[in-house]
């Protein structure tokens, strides 16, 4: 590289999106938007930069270290947002008088974290959150479940399970066992269950948290309950009988599973899983995690839950809510692994090759005609050698090349080359659109 050139490079932990990955990304995001909107969730956006004081909130030193924080040219202490939750809380408090409650929003935006980059983890990534705030109604929790279901289905997955729990159930049990004060420690142990196994969890609960072995076994019995949601709910009803929080949790879960099933969600796509203990210090009611049937090890691709108060840092108005976050990067990695992503780097399936310079307007016209019928069509920009144009077409992943020279223009025909099969046929110009539609299957 000559000395006077600047080396083109991205910062550590940052990445460019090349066409093929960006096409998949845009499609995924558009699908998600379509689902959110279909349920009446509205989009919002907030700035990338905020006062550090706002983003830090009551955050830990950990949060502080993860922020891209600096002094702006106006001498303000500012930082780039590291999630969409705090900006949403600030937004809500600031615009409360302009919003009709319940307020249902989605927010798809980039966030930045100065973390140590590792495989699949970047310093810049996109979050995709949706929430309903301003209501305790279980109807909002049910809707979040339906939305998660429709998101996964619309993206193209058929085998997946939304696993649901409700913190109130565990709270009820801990209350019955006299362990309410140890709940954080117990949840922390329980969260390790799938990694360390039953015996180690009992050991940690007794030794670190200080429960009796019987208490630990009771908690683990709850987490281990298996069967259909109806069976588990029936057992829970007995176990938690007489405890107010516990009974409320069972009631809410019963209503959630009943309504989801009645609304047409297949039974094998939702499961009651009492071992979910995520969001220890945050979620207070329903909790959701979503696993792919073909790639469960990739982890939850859509998680969330109910919380008591969104914006307590910024307003004295209590705003309970429920929502979830779609893991875009994780989903794209899964789709890639499951070969659900087209490797092409063109969003248009048809290339009109250009053979005869004097006919440029005719090539443009056919492009226009196909486009008006909704078929993405690129017209090559100059009359290069046909071999070069076809190489370009194959490299970018076009599905059809249209070719016409003097002969074809005279006869009023087009050569249609199917780039997937290699087959080439001659088509009358007035039947071209139909034939293209037939080959593309649209």
Alpha carbons 208 and 52: distance in angstroms, whole number: 37
Residue number with CB closer to a copy of itself (280 or 386): 386
DSSP 192: T
Residue 90 near a copy of itself by CB under 8 A: yes
Determine the Cα angle at 214 with ends 212 and 218, to 5°. Answer: 120
286-292/270-272 β-pairing: unpaired
Residue 30 near a copy of itself by CB under 8 A: yes
Q: List C-alpha distances in Å: 402 to 293, 367, 368.
A: 41, 10, 13
Residue 151 near a copy of itself by CB under 8 A: no
Helix pair 244-262, 229-239: axis angle to 10 deg: 160
Among 268, 395, 423, 425, interactor with a copy of itself by CB under 8 A: 395
Residue 9 near a copy of itself by CB under 8 A: yes
Among 298, 313, 338, 386, interactor with a copy of itself by CB under 8 A: 313
Residue 68 near a copy of itself by CB under 8 A: yes
Among 15, 192, 198, 221, interactor with a copy of itself by CB under 8 A: 15
Say if residues 359 and 409 touch (Cβ distance below 8 Å).
yes
How many of the chain's residues bind a copy of itself (CB under 8 A)?
109
Number of other residues whose CB lies within 10 A of the CB of residue 413: 18
The 3-class SS string of 52-64 reads HHHHHCCCCHHHH
| From 11-19, 266-274, 286-294, 403-411, span contacting a copy of itself (CB under 8 A) | 11-19
| From 171-179, 243-251, 252-260, 428-436, span contacting a copy of itself (CB under 8 A) | 252-260
Among 31, 63, 135, 218, interactor with a copy of itself by CB under 8 A: 135
Residue 80 near a copy of itself by CB under 8 A: yes
Residue 387 near a copy of itself by CB under 8 A: no
Among 5, 61, 242, 421, interactor with a copy of itself by CB under 8 A: 5
Query: In the bound complex, what is the minimum distance in angstroms from residue 195's beta carbon to a copy of itself?
Result: 30
Query: In the bound complex, what is the minimum distance in angstroms from residue 160's beta carbon to a copy of itself?
Result: 18
Sign of the four-CA dihedral 21, 23, 28, 32: positive
| From 25-33, 219-227, 333-341, 430-438, span contacting a copy of itself (CB under 8 A) | 25-33
Half-sphere exposure of 368 (CA within 13 A, CB side): 6
| From 34-42, 190-198, 288-296, 323-331, span contacting a copy of itself (CB under 8 A) | 34-42
Among 274, 378, 399, 402, interactor with a copy of itself by CB under 8 A: 378
DSSP character string of 315-375: -SS---EEEEEE-HHHHHHHHHHTT-S---S-S-SEEE----GGGHHHHHHHHHHHHHTT-
Query: In the bound complex, what is the minimum distance in angstroms from residue 66's beta carbon to a copy of itself?
Result: 9
Among 173, 245, 302, 354, interactor with a copy of itself by CB under 8 A: 354
Query: In the bound complex, what is the minimum distance in angstroms from residue 117's beta carbon to a copy of itself?
Result: 10
Residue 244 near a copy of itself by CB under 8 A: no
Residue number with CB closer to a copy of itself (90 or 417): 90
Backbone angles phi, psi at 417, to 5 degrees: -105, 120
Is the bond into 247 cis (omega within 30 degrees of 0)?
A: no
| From 9-17, 194-202, 270-278, 292-300, span contacting a copy of itself (CB under 8 A) | 9-17
Sign of the four-CA dihedral 173, 301, 108, 29: negative
DSSP run (H or E) holding 3: none
Residue number with CB closer to a copy of itself (14 or 282): 14
């Amino acid at each position: 590289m000559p000395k006077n050139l600047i080396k083109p490079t991205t910062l550590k932990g940052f990445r460019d999106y090349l066409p093929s990955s960006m096409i998949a990304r845009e499609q995924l995001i558009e699908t998600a938007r379509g689902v959110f909107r279909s349920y009446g969730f509205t989009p919002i956006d907030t700035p990338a930069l905020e006062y550090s004081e706002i983003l830090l909130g009551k955050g830990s030193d950990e949060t502080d270290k993860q922020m891209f924080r600096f002094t702006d040219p106006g001498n303000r202490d500012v930082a780039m947002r590291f999630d969409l939750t705090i900006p949403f809380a600030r937004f809500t408090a600031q615009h409360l008088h302009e919003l009709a409650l319940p307020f249902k929003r989605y927010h798809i935006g980039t966030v930045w974290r100065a973390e140590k980059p590792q495989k699949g983890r970047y310093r810049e990534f996109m979050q995709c959150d949706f929430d309903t705030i301003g209501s305790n109604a279980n109807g909002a929790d049910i809707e979040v479940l339906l939305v998660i279901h429709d998101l996964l289905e619309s993206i193209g997955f058929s085998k997946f399970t939304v696993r649901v729990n409700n913190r109130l159930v565990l709270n009820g049990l801990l209350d019955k066992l006299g362990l309410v004060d140890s709940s954080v420690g117990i949840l922390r142990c329980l969260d390790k269950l799938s990694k360390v196994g039953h015996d180690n969890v009992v050991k940690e609960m007794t030794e670190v948290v200080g429960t009796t072995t019987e208490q630990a076994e009771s908690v683990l019995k709850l987490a281990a309950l298996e069967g259909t949601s109806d069976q588990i709910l029936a057992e829970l009803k007995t176990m938690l009988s007489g405890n107010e929080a516990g009974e409320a949790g069972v009631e809410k879960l019963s209503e959630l599973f009943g309504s989801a099933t009645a609304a047409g969600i297949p039974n094998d796509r939702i499961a009651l899983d009492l071992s979910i203990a995520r969001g220890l210090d945050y979620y207070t009611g329903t909790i959701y995690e979503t696993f792919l049937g073909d790639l469960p090890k990739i982890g939850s691709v859509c998680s969330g839950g109910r919380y008591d108060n969104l914006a307590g840092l910024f307003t004295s108005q209590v705003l309970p809510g429920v929502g979830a976050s779609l893991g875009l990067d994780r989903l794209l990695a899964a789709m890639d692994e499951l070969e659900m992503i087209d490797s092409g780097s063109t969003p248009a399936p048809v290339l009109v090759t250009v053979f005869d310079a004097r006919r440029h307007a005719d090539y443009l016209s056919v492009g226009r005609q196909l486009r008006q019928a909704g078929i993405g069509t690129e017209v090559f920009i100059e009359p290069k050698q046909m071999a070069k144009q076809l190489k370009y077409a194959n490299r970018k992943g076009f599905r059809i090349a249209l070719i016409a020279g003097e002969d074809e223009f005279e006869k009023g025909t087009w050569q249609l080359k199917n780039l997937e099969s290699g087959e080439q046929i001659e088509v009358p110009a007035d039947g071209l659109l139909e034939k293209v539609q037939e080959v593309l299957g649209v």
